[in-house]
Amino acid sequence: MENEFAQDPVCNMQVKISETELKTEHDGKMYYFCSSGCQASFLADPAKYL
Ligand SMILES: [Zn+2]
């Protein structure tokens, strides 16, 4: 299915979009995370992972 998975920008894991609550909008784009730790890392320094 198209767009079912997104790549976690921090650890590069594939995240199933329908099963995660861990998402953050940055610069008009939605990012998904495998864990709250990855989300926190991204939020601390988004530019590092883009
Ligand atoms: Zn991750």
Distance 3 CA to ligand 1 centre (A): 18
Distance 34 CA to ligand 1 centre (A): 4
Supply the pTM of this predicted model: 0.88
Number of Cβ within a 10 Å radius of residue 40: 12
Q: Residue 34 in contact with residue 15, Cβ under 8 Å?
A: yes
Distance 40 CA to ligand 1 centre (A): 10
pLDDT tens per residue across span 14-48: 999 999 999 999 999 999 999 999 999 999 999 99
The domain segmentation of the chain, as residue ranges, is 5-49
- Which pLDDT band, with edges at 50, 70 and 90, does 49 fall under? very high
Q: Indicate the SS3 state at residue 5.
A: strand
Distance separating the N- and C-terminal Cα atoms of the chain:
25
Closest CA to 10 of 24, 44, 27, 39: 39
Distance 12 CA to ligand 1 centre (A): 7
Residue type, 35: S
